[in-house]
A and B are shown apart, each in its own frame.
Chain A
Amino acid sequence: MMPYTVKPLNRSAPTLRIDKIQVLVVVGGERAANLIKSIFEQLGFRNLMVAFDPDEAVAMMKEVIIDLVVTDAEIRAAALHTDQEEGAPAEPEFISGVELVRHLRTSPTSPNPYVPVIMLVNQATVKTILSARDAGVSEMVLKPINAADFCMRLIHVVDHPRAFVTAETYKGPCRRRKQTALHPGQKDRRTREVILHRHTHRWQNGTF
Protein backbone atom coordinates (compact mmCIF):
# COMPACT_ATOMS: atom_id res chain seq x y z
CA MET A 1 0.00 0.00 0.00
CA MET A 2 1.32 3.40 -0.94
CA PRO A 3 2.16 5.59 2.02
CA TYR A 4 -0.43 8.27 2.51
CA THR A 5 1.02 11.75 2.14
CA VAL A 6 -0.55 15.11 2.63
CA LYS A 7 0.39 17.70 0.07
CA PRO A 8 0.67 21.09 1.74
CA LEU A 9 -1.57 23.81 0.37
CA ASN A 10 0.20 26.22 -1.91
CA ARG A 11 -0.16 29.49 -0.09
CA SER A 12 2.61 31.29 -1.93
CA ALA A 13 1.78 34.57 -3.59
CA PRO A 14 0.67 34.34 -7.23
CA THR A 15 3.54 34.82 -9.63
CA LEU A 16 3.59 37.14 -12.60
CA ARG A 17 4.02 35.14 -15.78
CA ILE A 18 5.76 37.66 -18.03
CA ASP A 19 6.36 34.94 -20.57
CA LYS A 20 2.60 34.56 -21.00
CA ILE A 21 1.80 38.21 -21.61
CA GLN A 22 0.87 38.63 -25.27
CA VAL A 23 2.36 41.81 -26.71
CA LEU A 24 1.56 43.30 -30.10
CA VAL A 25 4.13 45.71 -31.56
CA VAL A 26 2.82 47.99 -34.34
CA VAL A 27 5.58 49.81 -36.22
CA GLY A 28 6.27 50.76 -39.82
CA GLY A 29 9.33 48.58 -40.46
CA GLU A 30 11.17 45.41 -39.66
CA ARG A 31 14.27 46.97 -38.12
CA ALA A 32 12.34 49.03 -35.56
CA ALA A 33 10.15 46.01 -34.81
CA ASN A 34 13.22 43.83 -34.21
CA LEU A 35 14.71 46.33 -31.80
CA ILE A 36 11.50 46.65 -29.77
CA LYS A 37 11.10 42.87 -29.77
CA SER A 38 14.68 42.47 -28.51
CA ILE A 39 13.96 44.86 -25.65
CA PHE A 40 10.88 42.88 -24.64
CA GLU A 41 12.77 39.59 -24.90
CA GLN A 42 15.54 40.97 -22.74
CA LEU A 43 12.91 41.77 -20.11
CA GLY A 44 11.56 38.21 -20.20
CA PHE A 45 8.57 38.59 -22.54
CA ARG A 46 8.17 35.70 -24.96
CA ASN A 47 4.81 36.12 -26.68
CA LEU A 48 5.49 38.88 -29.15
CA MET A 49 3.65 39.65 -32.35
CA VAL A 50 4.38 42.34 -34.93
CA ALA A 51 2.05 44.21 -37.26
CA PHE A 52 3.27 46.68 -39.87
CA ASP A 53 0.00 48.50 -40.37
CA PRO A 54 -3.17 49.19 -38.39
CA ASP A 55 -5.36 46.88 -40.46
CA GLU A 56 -2.96 44.02 -39.81
CA ALA A 57 -2.91 44.91 -36.10
CA VAL A 58 -6.71 44.88 -35.84
CA ALA A 59 -6.89 41.59 -37.77
CA MET A 60 -4.34 40.00 -35.41
CA MET A 61 -6.27 41.22 -32.39
CA LYS A 62 -9.36 39.50 -33.70
CA GLU A 63 -7.44 36.21 -33.83
CA VAL A 64 -5.38 36.38 -30.63
CA ILE A 65 -6.09 37.90 -27.21
CA ILE A 66 -3.58 40.70 -26.91
CA ASP A 67 -2.66 41.94 -23.43
CA LEU A 68 -0.59 44.95 -24.42
CA VAL A 69 -0.14 47.02 -27.58
CA VAL A 70 2.97 49.09 -28.30
CA THR A 71 2.42 51.31 -31.30
CA ASP A 72 4.42 53.92 -33.14
CA ALA A 73 2.74 57.29 -33.54
CA GLU A 74 3.39 57.15 -37.28
CA ILE A 75 2.46 54.08 -39.22
CA ARG A 76 2.57 53.53 -42.95
CA ALA A 77 -0.77 52.25 -44.10
CA ALA A 78 -3.97 52.70 -45.92
CA ALA A 79 -6.55 54.25 -43.64
CA LEU A 80 -8.70 51.87 -41.67
CA HIS A 81 -11.43 50.81 -44.03
CA THR A 82 -14.29 50.44 -41.58
CA ASP A 83 -15.82 53.86 -42.13
CA GLN A 84 -15.23 53.90 -45.86
CA GLU A 85 -18.19 53.81 -48.20
CA GLU A 86 -18.53 50.64 -50.15
CA GLY A 87 -17.01 50.89 -53.61
CA ALA A 88 -15.08 54.06 -52.82
CA PRO A 89 -11.46 53.91 -53.97
CA ALA A 90 -9.03 53.28 -51.15
CA GLU A 91 -6.76 56.28 -50.82
CA PRO A 92 -3.57 55.22 -49.10
CA GLU A 93 -2.29 57.76 -46.62
CA PHE A 94 -0.16 58.06 -43.55
CA ILE A 95 -2.34 57.27 -40.63
CA SER A 96 -1.27 57.94 -37.14
CA GLY A 97 -1.08 55.57 -34.22
CA VAL A 98 -3.58 57.91 -32.57
CA GLU A 99 -6.17 56.90 -35.15
CA LEU A 100 -5.47 53.24 -34.49
CA VAL A 101 -6.02 53.77 -30.75
CA ARG A 102 -9.20 55.74 -31.37
CA HIS A 103 -10.45 52.89 -33.54
CA LEU A 104 -9.59 50.32 -30.87
CA ARG A 105 -11.34 52.30 -28.15
CA THR A 106 -14.47 53.43 -29.93
CA SER A 107 -15.23 51.28 -32.95
CA PRO A 108 -18.14 48.87 -32.55
CA THR A 109 -15.97 46.31 -34.38
CA SER A 110 -13.00 46.79 -32.05
CA PRO A 111 -11.52 43.48 -30.93
CA ASN A 112 -10.62 44.85 -27.48
CA PRO A 113 -11.49 48.42 -26.41
CA TYR A 114 -9.82 47.95 -23.01
CA VAL A 115 -6.37 46.86 -24.17
CA PRO A 116 -3.54 48.95 -22.65
CA VAL A 117 -1.65 50.90 -25.33
CA ILE A 118 1.83 52.40 -25.09
CA MET A 119 2.58 54.88 -27.86
CA LEU A 120 6.01 55.93 -29.12
CA VAL A 121 5.77 59.64 -29.92
CA ASN A 122 8.18 61.84 -31.84
CA GLN A 123 7.57 65.16 -30.17
CA ALA A 124 6.36 66.21 -26.75
CA THR A 125 4.18 69.03 -28.08
CA VAL A 126 0.95 69.90 -26.31
CA LYS A 127 -1.01 69.00 -29.47
CA THR A 128 0.60 65.53 -29.77
CA ILE A 129 0.15 64.71 -26.11
CA LEU A 130 -3.45 65.91 -25.92
CA SER A 131 -4.51 64.10 -29.08
CA ALA A 132 -2.90 60.85 -27.90
CA ARG A 133 -4.39 61.20 -24.43
CA ASP A 134 -7.86 61.99 -25.78
CA ALA A 135 -7.73 59.03 -28.16
CA GLY A 136 -7.24 56.75 -25.14
CA VAL A 137 -3.49 56.04 -25.11
CA SER A 138 -2.47 54.53 -21.77
CA GLU A 139 1.15 55.71 -21.71
CA MET A 140 3.51 57.58 -24.05
CA VAL A 141 7.22 57.04 -24.60
CA LEU A 142 9.09 59.93 -26.13
CA LYS A 143 11.65 59.27 -28.86
CA PRO A 144 14.64 58.93 -28.96
CA ILE A 145 13.86 55.69 -27.22
CA ASN A 146 15.49 55.18 -23.86
CA ALA A 147 15.41 51.91 -21.90
CA ALA A 148 14.73 53.42 -18.48
CA ASP A 149 11.78 55.49 -19.70
CA PHE A 150 10.38 52.62 -21.74
CA CYS A 151 10.55 50.23 -18.78
CA MET A 152 9.04 52.78 -16.43
CA ARG A 153 6.01 53.22 -18.73
CA LEU A 154 5.70 49.48 -19.13
CA ILE A 155 5.72 48.94 -15.36
CA HIS A 156 3.14 51.68 -14.98
CA VAL A 157 0.77 50.10 -17.48
CA VAL A 158 1.08 46.60 -15.98
CA ASP A 159 1.37 47.34 -12.27
CA HIS A 160 -0.78 50.44 -11.98
CA PRO A 161 -3.48 50.29 -14.66
CA ARG A 162 -5.83 53.22 -14.52
CA ALA A 163 -9.58 52.78 -14.29
CA PHE A 164 -11.35 52.71 -17.63
CA VAL A 165 -13.78 55.47 -18.48
CA THR A 166 -16.72 55.06 -20.82
CA ALA A 167 -18.40 58.37 -21.49
CA GLU A 168 -20.18 60.00 -24.43
CA THR A 169 -17.15 61.95 -25.50
CA TYR A 170 -14.32 59.74 -24.29
CA LYS A 171 -13.49 56.09 -23.97
CA GLY A 172 -10.18 55.00 -22.51
CA PRO A 173 -8.07 54.94 -19.38
CA CYS A 174 -8.93 57.63 -16.85
CA ARG A 175 -7.14 60.80 -17.87
CA ARG A 176 -6.75 61.96 -14.28
CA ARG A 177 -3.32 61.11 -13.01
CA LYS A 178 -4.11 62.43 -9.55
CA GLN A 179 -7.09 60.95 -7.75
CA THR A 180 -8.93 63.95 -6.37
CA ALA A 181 -12.30 64.00 -4.67
CA LEU A 182 -15.33 64.74 -6.83
CA HIS A 183 -17.09 68.07 -6.54
CA PRO A 184 -20.53 67.98 -4.90
CA GLY A 185 -23.05 66.70 -7.43
CA GLN A 186 -20.36 65.57 -9.88
CA LYS A 187 -20.80 62.04 -11.21
CA ASP A 188 -17.93 59.57 -11.42
CA ARG A 189 -17.87 58.42 -15.05
CA ARG A 190 -15.71 55.43 -14.29
CA THR A 191 -18.16 52.58 -14.34
CA ARG A 192 -18.04 49.75 -11.83
CA GLU A 193 -17.82 47.30 -14.66
CA VAL A 194 -14.70 48.81 -16.09
CA ILE A 195 -13.09 49.50 -12.75
CA LEU A 196 -13.41 45.77 -12.17
CA HIS A 197 -11.77 45.22 -15.54
CA ARG A 198 -8.69 46.90 -14.19
CA HIS A 199 -8.32 44.12 -11.66
CA THR A 200 -8.80 41.27 -14.02
CA HIS A 201 -5.79 41.51 -16.26
CA ARG A 202 -4.98 37.98 -17.25
CA TRP A 203 -1.42 38.20 -16.03
CA GLN A 204 -2.53 39.31 -12.58
CA ASN A 205 -5.20 36.83 -11.69
CA GLY A 206 -3.33 33.67 -12.62
CA THR A 207 -5.77 32.50 -15.29
CA PHE A 208 -3.06 31.30 -17.66
Chain B
Amino acid sequence: MMPKLANHITPEKIEECQRLIDTSREGFFDDIDPILTSLRNMTVSEKLTDKQTEAMGAAAADIQSHASLFGYQLIAALAGQLTALLASPRFEGERKARLVKKYVEALVMACQQRINDSGGAVGALILKDLAAATAK
Protein backbone atom coordinates (compact mmCIF):
# COMPACT_ATOMS: atom_id res chain seq x y z
CA MET B 1 0.00 0.00 0.00
CA MET B 2 1.31 3.42 -0.95
CA PRO B 3 2.04 5.90 1.85
CA LYS B 4 -0.45 8.74 2.00
CA LEU B 5 0.02 12.42 2.62
CA ALA B 6 -3.43 12.39 4.22
CA ASN B 7 -1.96 10.41 7.11
CA HIS B 8 0.58 13.16 7.81
CA ILE B 9 -1.73 16.15 7.56
CA THR B 10 -3.60 15.98 10.84
CA PRO B 11 -6.49 18.26 11.87
CA GLU B 12 -4.11 19.84 14.40
CA LYS B 13 -1.67 20.77 11.63
CA ILE B 14 -4.51 22.22 9.55
CA GLU B 15 -5.65 24.29 12.53
CA GLU B 16 -2.10 25.55 13.02
CA CYS B 17 -1.93 26.52 9.33
CA GLN B 18 -5.22 28.39 9.66
CA ARG B 19 -3.79 30.25 12.65
CA LEU B 20 -0.81 31.29 10.52
CA ILE B 21 -3.17 32.60 7.84
CA ASP B 22 -5.31 34.45 10.39
CA THR B 23 -2.29 36.05 12.06
CA SER B 24 -0.94 37.18 8.71
CA ARG B 25 -4.36 38.57 7.74
CA GLU B 26 -4.74 40.46 11.01
CA GLY B 27 -1.29 42.02 10.63
CA PHE B 28 -1.72 42.85 6.94
CA PHE B 29 -2.32 46.60 7.20
CA ASP B 30 0.44 47.18 9.78
CA ASP B 31 2.75 44.98 7.76
CA ILE B 32 2.41 46.92 4.51
CA ASP B 33 2.53 50.34 6.14
CA PRO B 34 6.30 50.80 5.63
CA ILE B 35 5.92 49.82 1.95
CA LEU B 36 3.20 52.43 1.47
CA THR B 37 5.40 55.07 3.09
CA SER B 38 8.26 54.27 0.74
CA LEU B 39 5.89 54.28 -2.26
CA ARG B 40 4.61 57.70 -1.22
CA ASN B 41 8.12 59.05 -0.78
CA MET B 42 9.04 57.95 -4.27
CA THR B 43 6.07 59.71 -5.88
CA VAL B 44 7.43 63.11 -4.79
CA SER B 45 9.70 63.38 -7.82
CA GLU B 46 8.29 64.65 -11.12
CA LYS B 47 9.91 61.89 -13.14
CA LEU B 48 10.63 58.37 -12.04
CA THR B 49 14.06 56.88 -12.53
CA ASP B 50 14.41 53.29 -13.73
CA LYS B 51 15.59 52.31 -10.28
CA GLN B 52 12.56 53.92 -8.64
CA THR B 53 10.21 52.32 -11.17
CA GLU B 54 11.68 48.91 -10.49
CA ALA B 55 11.52 49.33 -6.71
CA MET B 56 7.94 50.60 -6.85
CA GLY B 57 6.92 47.75 -9.17
CA ALA B 58 8.32 45.16 -6.76
CA ALA B 59 6.60 46.85 -3.80
CA ALA B 60 3.25 47.06 -5.60
CA ALA B 61 3.48 43.42 -6.70
CA ASP B 62 4.25 42.45 -3.11
CA ILE B 63 1.11 44.23 -1.89
CA GLN B 64 -0.99 42.81 -4.74
CA SER B 65 -0.05 39.18 -4.15
CA HIS B 66 -0.40 39.48 -0.37
CA ALA B 67 -3.77 41.28 -0.53
CA SER B 68 -5.22 38.88 -3.08
CA LEU B 69 -4.43 35.88 -0.83
CA PHE B 70 -6.88 37.29 1.70
CA GLY B 71 -9.47 38.37 -0.85
CA TYR B 72 -8.80 42.10 -0.36
CA GLN B 73 -10.03 42.78 -3.88
CA LEU B 74 -9.82 46.57 -4.06
CA ILE B 75 -6.30 46.75 -2.66
CA ALA B 76 -5.18 43.85 -4.87
CA ALA B 77 -6.73 45.51 -7.94
CA LEU B 78 -5.13 48.91 -7.22
CA ALA B 79 -1.73 47.38 -6.51
CA GLY B 80 -2.02 45.11 -9.56
CA GLN B 81 -2.89 48.00 -11.87
CA LEU B 82 -0.08 50.06 -10.39
CA THR B 83 2.34 47.20 -11.12
CA ALA B 84 1.11 46.99 -14.71
CA LEU B 85 1.34 50.78 -15.11
CA LEU B 86 4.90 50.88 -13.82
CA ALA B 87 5.93 48.05 -16.14
CA SER B 88 4.20 49.46 -19.19
CA PRO B 89 6.37 51.18 -21.84
CA ARG B 90 3.25 53.08 -23.02
CA PHE B 91 3.66 55.67 -20.27
CA GLU B 92 6.69 57.86 -19.78
CA GLY B 93 8.04 60.92 -17.99
CA GLU B 94 5.81 63.32 -16.09
CA ARG B 95 2.61 61.66 -17.25
CA LYS B 96 3.70 58.32 -15.85
CA ALA B 97 4.77 59.95 -12.57
CA ARG B 98 1.40 61.72 -12.31
CA LEU B 99 -0.58 58.53 -12.93
CA VAL B 100 1.57 56.55 -10.51
CA LYS B 101 0.96 59.20 -7.86
CA LYS B 102 -2.81 58.89 -8.36
CA TYR B 103 -2.66 55.13 -7.93
CA VAL B 104 -0.43 55.36 -4.86
CA GLU B 105 -2.77 57.90 -3.27
CA ALA B 106 -5.77 55.63 -3.90
CA LEU B 107 -3.87 52.64 -2.53
CA VAL B 108 -2.83 54.53 0.61
CA MET B 109 -6.39 55.71 1.14
CA ALA B 110 -7.81 52.18 0.74
CA CYS B 111 -5.26 50.85 3.22
CA GLN B 112 -5.89 53.64 5.72
CA GLN B 113 -9.60 52.81 5.57
CA ARG B 114 -8.70 49.12 5.96
CA ILE B 115 -10.93 48.12 3.07
CA ASN B 116 -10.87 44.34 3.10
CA ASP B 117 -13.19 43.60 0.18
CA SER B 118 -14.03 45.08 -3.23
CA GLY B 119 -14.95 48.42 -1.64
CA GLY B 120 -18.46 48.20 -3.11
CA ALA B 121 -19.72 51.05 -5.29
CA VAL B 122 -17.02 53.45 -4.04
CA GLY B 123 -14.30 50.94 -4.88
CA ALA B 124 -15.72 50.48 -8.38
CA LEU B 125 -15.85 54.26 -8.83
CA ILE B 126 -12.21 54.69 -7.76
CA LEU B 127 -11.08 52.01 -10.23
CA LYS B 128 -13.21 53.52 -13.00
CA ASP B 129 -11.79 56.99 -12.35
CA LEU B 130 -8.23 55.70 -12.45
CA ALA B 131 -8.89 53.70 -15.60
CA ALA B 132 -10.29 56.85 -17.26
CA ALA B 133 -7.20 58.86 -16.24
CA THR B 134 -4.95 56.17 -17.68
CA ALA B 135 -6.90 56.00 -20.95
CA LYS B 136 -6.68 59.75 -21.61
Q: Do A and B actually bind?
A: yes
- A149 CA to B84 CA in the complex, in Å? 30
Residue B29 at the A interface, CB < 8 A?
Answer: no
Number of interface residues, chain A, beta carbon within 8 A: 43
Interface residues of A in 170-196 (CB under 8 A from B): none
Q: Does B69 contact A (CB under 8 A)?
A: yes
Within 8 A of B (CB), among A26-47: 27-33, 35, 38-39, 42-44
Give every chain A residue within 8 A of B21 (Cβ-Cβ). 35, 39, 145-147
Q: In the complex, what residue of chain A is closest to B70 when comparing beta carbons?
A: A144
- Given A31-B31, A43-B17, A76-B61: A159 touches B66 (CB 8 Å cut-off): no
Q: List 16 A-B contacts (CB under 8 A).
A: A13-B1, A14-B3, A16-B3, A16-B4, A32-B66, A35-B69, A43-B13, A74-B64, A76-B87, A144-B70, A147-B17, A147-B20, A151-B9, A151-B14, A155-B9, A159-B5
- A residues near B (Cβ < 8 Å) are 13-16, 18, 27-33, 35, 38-39, 42-44, 52, 72, 74, 76, 78, 89, 91-94, 120, 122, 143-148, 150-151, 154-155, 158-159, 204
Q: Which residues of B contact A (CB under 8 A)?
A: 1-9, 13-18, 20-21, 24, 31-32, 57-58, 61-66, 68-71, 73, 76, 80, 83-84, 87-89
Given contacts A39-B20, A151-B14, 6 further A-B contacts (CB under 8 A): A14-B2, A31-B32, A32-B65, A72-B65, A74-B80, A94-B83
